[in-house]
Amino acid sequence: MMVRSLFFAQYRDMAGAEELPVELPEGASVGDLVSALRGRVGGLASLPPKPVVAVNMDYAPLATPLREGDEVAFIPPVAGG
Amino acid sequence: MGTPHAAVTAEPLDAARLLADCVSPSDGAALLFWGVVRAENDGREVAQLEYHAYAEMAERQMRKIAAEAIERFGTGDIRVVHRVGLLEVGEASVAIAVASPHRGEAYEASRYVIEELKRRVPVWKREGYVEGEREWVPGFTPSEAESDSGSTAGRPR
Protein backbone atom coordinates (compact mmCIF):
# COMPACT_ATOMS: atom_id res chain seq x y z
CA MET A 1 0.00 0.00 0.00
CA MET A 2 1.03 3.61 -0.52
CA VAL A 3 0.88 6.26 2.19
CA ARG A 4 1.75 9.95 2.04
CA SER A 5 4.34 11.29 4.49
CA LEU A 6 4.25 15.04 5.15
CA PHE A 7 7.12 16.95 6.72
CA PHE A 8 7.14 20.30 8.46
CA ALA A 9 9.74 22.77 9.76
CA GLN A 10 12.95 21.00 10.92
CA TYR A 11 11.71 17.67 9.56
CA ARG A 12 11.13 19.23 6.15
CA ASP A 13 14.72 20.47 6.21
CA MET A 14 15.86 16.89 6.99
CA ALA A 15 13.65 15.28 4.34
CA GLY A 16 14.45 17.88 1.71
CA ALA A 17 10.79 17.56 0.64
CA GLU A 18 7.34 18.57 1.80
CA GLU A 19 5.90 15.20 0.98
CA LEU A 20 7.14 11.71 0.15
CA PRO A 21 5.07 8.74 -1.00
CA VAL A 22 6.11 5.54 0.79
CA GLU A 23 5.27 1.97 -0.17
CA LEU A 24 4.61 -0.26 2.86
CA PRO A 25 3.45 -3.85 3.30
CA GLU A 26 -0.22 -4.36 4.21
CA GLY A 27 -0.77 -4.13 7.95
CA ALA A 28 2.17 -1.77 8.54
CA SER A 29 1.94 0.69 11.43
CA VAL A 30 3.12 4.26 11.87
CA GLY A 31 6.17 2.81 13.65
CA ASP A 32 6.99 0.75 10.55
CA LEU A 33 6.80 3.90 8.43
CA VAL A 34 9.17 5.68 10.84
CA SER A 35 11.64 2.79 10.59
CA ALA A 36 11.41 2.79 6.79
CA LEU A 37 12.09 6.53 6.61
CA ARG A 38 14.95 6.40 9.13
CA GLY A 39 16.53 3.62 7.11
CA ARG A 40 16.79 5.82 4.03
CA VAL A 41 20.00 7.42 2.91
CA GLY A 42 20.11 11.15 3.65
CA GLY A 43 18.70 13.55 6.18
CA LEU A 44 15.78 11.43 7.33
CA ALA A 45 18.18 9.09 9.08
CA SER A 46 18.22 11.75 11.80
CA LEU A 47 14.43 11.71 12.27
CA PRO A 48 13.81 10.85 15.96
CA PRO A 49 12.90 7.18 16.57
CA LYS A 50 9.63 8.24 18.24
CA PRO A 51 8.48 11.41 16.49
CA VAL A 52 5.07 12.96 17.10
CA VAL A 53 2.82 12.09 14.17
CA ALA A 54 -0.69 12.83 13.02
CA VAL A 55 -2.57 10.34 10.87
CA ASN A 56 -5.18 12.04 8.70
CA MET A 57 -4.78 15.20 10.82
CA ASP A 58 -5.27 13.60 14.22
CA TYR A 59 -2.40 12.93 16.67
CA ALA A 60 -1.80 9.18 16.73
CA PRO A 61 0.43 6.68 18.56
CA LEU A 62 3.18 4.79 16.70
CA ALA A 63 1.19 1.56 16.98
CA THR A 64 -1.59 2.97 14.77
CA PRO A 65 -2.19 0.68 11.77
CA LEU A 66 -2.03 2.41 8.39
CA ARG A 67 -4.28 2.08 5.39
CA GLU A 68 -3.82 2.81 1.70
CA GLY A 69 -3.78 6.57 1.07
CA ASP A 70 -3.32 7.63 4.70
CA GLU A 71 -1.72 11.02 5.28
CA VAL A 72 0.96 10.76 7.96
CA ALA A 73 2.36 14.09 9.12
CA PHE A 74 5.61 14.31 11.07
CA ILE A 75 5.21 17.05 13.64
CA PRO A 76 8.31 18.59 15.23
CA PRO A 77 7.80 20.51 18.50
CA VAL A 78 5.15 23.17 17.82
CA ALA A 79 5.73 26.89 18.34
CA GLY A 80 2.53 28.72 17.46
CA GLY A 81 1.23 31.90 19.04
CA MET B 1 -24.30 27.39 18.25
CA GLY B 2 -22.33 25.69 15.48
CA THR B 3 -18.64 24.85 15.38
CA PRO B 4 -16.40 27.76 16.43
CA HIS B 5 -14.61 29.61 13.65
CA ALA B 6 -10.86 29.11 13.26
CA ALA B 7 -8.58 30.00 10.37
CA VAL B 8 -4.98 30.02 9.21
CA THR B 9 -4.32 32.97 6.91
CA ALA B 10 -1.50 34.74 5.10
CA GLU B 11 -3.42 38.05 5.33
CA PRO B 12 -2.90 40.63 8.11
CA LEU B 13 -5.29 39.99 11.03
CA ASP B 14 -8.32 42.23 11.49
CA ALA B 15 -9.03 42.72 15.21
CA ALA B 16 -12.18 44.81 14.88
CA ARG B 17 -13.81 42.38 12.50
CA LEU B 18 -12.93 39.34 14.61
CA LEU B 19 -14.46 40.95 17.71
CA ALA B 20 -17.57 42.14 15.90
CA ASP B 21 -18.14 38.73 14.33
CA CYS B 22 -18.10 36.88 17.65
CA VAL B 23 -20.48 39.09 19.64
CA SER B 24 -24.18 38.17 19.89
CA PRO B 25 -27.05 39.86 21.77
CA SER B 26 -26.60 37.58 24.80
CA ASP B 27 -23.01 38.79 25.36
CA GLY B 28 -22.00 41.52 27.78
CA ALA B 29 -18.26 41.47 27.08
CA ALA B 30 -15.75 40.56 24.42
CA LEU B 31 -12.02 40.12 24.82
CA LEU B 32 -9.25 40.07 22.27
CA PHE B 33 -5.93 38.31 22.73
CA TRP B 34 -3.52 39.83 20.21
CA GLY B 35 -0.18 38.04 19.93
CA VAL B 36 2.53 40.11 18.26
CA VAL B 37 6.09 39.60 17.03
CA ARG B 38 8.54 40.83 19.63
CA ALA B 39 11.81 42.54 18.74
CA GLU B 40 13.93 40.41 21.06
CA ASN B 41 13.91 36.73 21.99
CA ASP B 42 16.36 35.02 24.35
CA GLY B 43 18.66 37.99 24.12
CA ARG B 44 18.85 38.07 20.32
CA GLU B 45 17.50 40.87 18.21
CA VAL B 46 14.77 39.58 15.89
CA ALA B 47 14.23 41.20 12.51
CA GLN B 48 11.32 39.05 11.35
CA LEU B 49 9.49 35.81 12.03
CA GLU B 50 8.44 33.30 9.43
CA TYR B 51 5.38 31.22 10.43
CA HIS B 52 4.52 27.88 8.88
CA ALA B 53 1.48 25.73 9.58
CA TYR B 54 -0.03 22.40 8.74
CA ALA B 55 -2.98 24.59 7.91
CA GLU B 56 -5.87 22.18 7.70
CA MET B 57 -4.91 20.33 10.87
CA ALA B 58 -4.14 23.61 12.67
CA GLU B 59 -7.64 24.87 11.86
CA ARG B 60 -9.17 21.64 13.16
CA GLN B 61 -7.14 21.82 16.37
CA MET B 62 -8.01 25.48 16.95
CA ARG B 63 -11.73 24.77 16.43
CA LYS B 64 -11.48 21.91 18.88
CA ILE B 65 -9.72 24.05 21.51
CA ALA B 66 -12.28 26.84 21.09
CA ALA B 67 -15.12 24.33 21.49
CA GLU B 68 -13.49 22.96 24.65
CA ALA B 69 -13.22 26.48 26.09
CA ILE B 70 -16.85 27.31 25.28
CA GLU B 71 -18.00 24.13 26.99
CA ARG B 72 -15.69 24.44 29.96
CA PHE B 73 -16.21 28.12 30.78
CA GLY B 74 -19.70 28.68 29.39
CA THR B 75 -18.72 31.60 27.16
CA GLY B 76 -20.39 32.71 23.96
CA ASP B 77 -18.62 32.37 20.62
CA ILE B 78 -14.83 32.11 20.34
CA ARG B 79 -12.89 32.86 17.15
CA VAL B 80 -9.23 32.04 16.53
CA VAL B 81 -7.08 33.15 13.60
CA HIS B 82 -3.39 32.37 13.12
CA ARG B 83 -1.22 34.13 10.59
CA VAL B 84 1.42 32.43 8.43
CA GLY B 85 4.18 33.78 6.22
CA LEU B 86 6.78 36.44 6.90
CA LEU B 87 5.89 38.82 9.76
CA GLU B 88 7.67 41.97 10.86
CA VAL B 89 8.18 43.05 14.46
CA GLY B 90 4.91 44.44 15.84
CA GLU B 91 2.65 42.50 13.45
CA ALA B 92 0.03 40.18 14.93
CA SER B 93 0.63 36.44 14.60
CA VAL B 94 -2.46 35.22 16.44
CA ALA B 95 -5.82 36.68 17.44
CA ILE B 96 -8.35 35.10 19.79
CA ALA B 97 -11.73 36.77 20.28
CA VAL B 98 -13.95 35.57 23.12
CA ALA B 99 -17.50 36.84 23.62
CA SER B 100 -19.32 36.11 26.84
CA PRO B 101 -22.35 37.11 28.88
CA HIS B 102 -19.93 37.97 31.74
CA ARG B 103 -16.28 39.03 31.77
CA GLY B 104 -14.85 36.48 34.23
CA GLU B 105 -15.39 33.47 31.98
CA ALA B 106 -14.08 35.41 28.99
CA TYR B 107 -10.70 36.00 30.66
CA GLU B 108 -10.40 32.34 31.67
CA ALA B 109 -11.42 31.06 28.26
CA SER B 110 -9.02 33.39 26.44
CA ARG B 111 -6.11 32.16 28.58
CA TYR B 112 -7.11 28.53 28.03
CA VAL B 113 -7.21 28.94 24.24
CA ILE B 114 -3.77 30.57 23.91
CA GLU B 115 -2.08 28.10 26.28
CA GLU B 116 -3.58 25.07 24.52
CA LEU B 117 -2.83 26.54 21.10
CA LYS B 118 0.84 26.77 22.03
CA ARG B 119 0.83 23.17 23.27
CA ARG B 120 -0.81 21.37 20.39
CA VAL B 121 -1.60 23.38 17.24
CA PRO B 122 0.80 22.43 14.40
CA VAL B 123 2.41 25.82 13.73
CA TRP B 124 6.13 26.56 13.59
CA LYS B 125 8.19 29.71 13.41
CA ARG B 126 11.65 30.54 12.24
CA GLU B 127 13.30 33.65 13.58
CA GLY B 128 15.40 35.82 11.33
CA TYR B 129 17.95 37.69 13.43
CA VAL B 130 19.29 41.14 12.78
CA GLU B 131 22.76 39.61 12.33
CA GLY B 132 21.40 37.47 9.51
CA GLU B 133 20.94 33.89 10.78
CA ARG B 134 17.63 32.00 10.79
CA GLU B 135 16.58 29.35 13.29
CA TRP B 136 13.47 27.33 14.09
CA VAL B 137 12.14 28.39 17.47
CA PRO B 138 12.15 25.51 20.00
CA GLY B 139 8.62 24.48 20.90
CA PHE B 140 6.32 22.13 22.78
CA THR B 141 6.03 18.44 21.97
CA PRO B 142 2.33 17.62 21.53
CA SER B 143 1.08 14.47 23.21
CA GLU B 144 -0.72 11.71 21.36
CA ALA B 145 -3.33 12.06 24.14
CA GLU B 146 -4.52 15.10 22.17
CA SER B 147 -6.11 12.83 19.58
CA ASP B 148 -9.79 13.30 18.82
CA SER B 149 -10.59 10.08 20.65
CA GLY B 150 -8.58 11.04 23.76
CA SER B 151 -10.44 13.37 26.12
CA THR B 152 -8.65 16.55 27.10
CA ALA B 153 -11.74 18.33 28.42
CA GLY B 154 -11.38 16.83 31.88
CA ARG B 155 -7.66 17.42 32.30
CA PRO B 156 -6.82 19.48 35.39
CA ARG B 157 -5.43 22.91 34.68
User: Is B114 an interface residue toward A (CB < 8 Å)?
Assistant: yes
Q: Which of B121, B139, B145 sits opposite A77 (nearest CB)?
A: B139
Structure confidence at residue B143 (pLDDT): 86
Structure confidence at residue A34 (pLDDT): 98
Phi/psi region, residue B85 (left: phi>0; alpha: psi -120 to 50; beta: rest), is left
Which residues of chain A does B82 touch, with a Cβ-Cβ cutoff of 8 Å? 80
Which residues of chain B does A57 touch, with a Cβ-Cβ cutoff of 8 Å? 54, 56-57, 60
Contact: A8, B122; criterion CB under 8 Å: yes
ipTM: 0.95
Return mean pLDDT, chain B: 91
Domain B5-137 has CATH 2.120.10.80: no
User: Is B147 an interface residue toward A (CB < 8 Å)?
Assistant: yes
Domain-located, residue A69: yes
Structure confidence at residue B146 (pLDDT): 77
Structure confidence at residue B1 (pLDDT): 55
Give yes or no for a contact between A80 and B94, defined as CB atoms under 8 angstroms apart. yes
Give dist(CA B155, CA B157) in Å, integer: 6
As a whole number, mean pLDDT of residues B27-35 equals 97
Closest chain A residue by Cα to residue B113:
A81
Encode pLDDT of A10-50 as tens digits.
999 999 999 999 999 999 999 999 999 999 888 999 999 99
Question: Which residues neighbour A5 within 8 Å (Cβ) at sequence distance 6 or greater?
Answer: A15, A19, A20, A21, A22, A33, A37, A72, A73, A74
User: Is B126 an interface residue toward A (CB < 8 Å)?
Assistant: yes
Which residues of chain B does A9 touch, with a Cβ-Cβ cutoff of 8 Å? 52, 124, 126, 136
Domain-located, residue A81: no
Higher pLDDT, B134 or A74: A74
Domain-located, residue A80: no
Question: Which residues neighbour B57 within 8 Å (Cβ) at sequence distance 6 or greater?
Answer: A54, A57, A73, B122
Side chain identity at residue B66, one-letter code? A
* Total domains, chain A: 1
Q: How far is CA B10 from CA B51, B83, B100, B115, in A?
A: 9, 6, 28, 22
As a whole number, mean pLDDT of residues B72-92 equals 97
Give yes or no for a contact between B51 and B37, defined as CB atoms under 8 angstroms apart. no
Structure confidence at residue B150 (pLDDT): 60
Question: What is the CATH number for A14?
Answer: 3.10.20.30
Residue B48 confidence class, pLDDT cut points 50, 70, 90: confident
Contact: A9, B143; criterion CB under 8 Å: no
Structure confidence at residue A44 (pLDDT): 94
Q: Which of B123, B144, B146 sits opposite A80 (nearest CB)?
A: B123
Give dist(CA A71, CA A54) in Å, integer: 8
Contact: B123, A73; criterion CB under 8 Å: no
As a whole number, mean pLDDT of residues B15-38 equals 96
Provide the residue range defining the domain that includes A49.
Answer: 2-75
Contact: B147, A59; criterion CB under 8 Å: yes
User: Is 0.80 surpassed by the pTM of this model?
Assistant: yes
Domain-located, residue A24: yes
Q: Which of A60, A73, A81 sits opposite B54 (nearest CB)?
A: A73
Give dist(CA B110, CA B127) in Å, integer: 26
As a whole number, mean pLDDT of residues A57-79 equals 97
What does A13-79 look like in DSSP terms, one character per residue? HHHTSSEEEEE--TT-BHHHHHHHHHTSSSGGGGS-SS-EEEETTEEE-TTPBP-TT-EEEEEPPB-
Structure confidence at residue B156 (pLDDT): 37
Residue B141 has pLDDT above 60, yes or no: yes
Give dist(CA B61, CA B120) in Å, integer: 8
E strand residue ranges, B42-84 = 44-53, 78-83
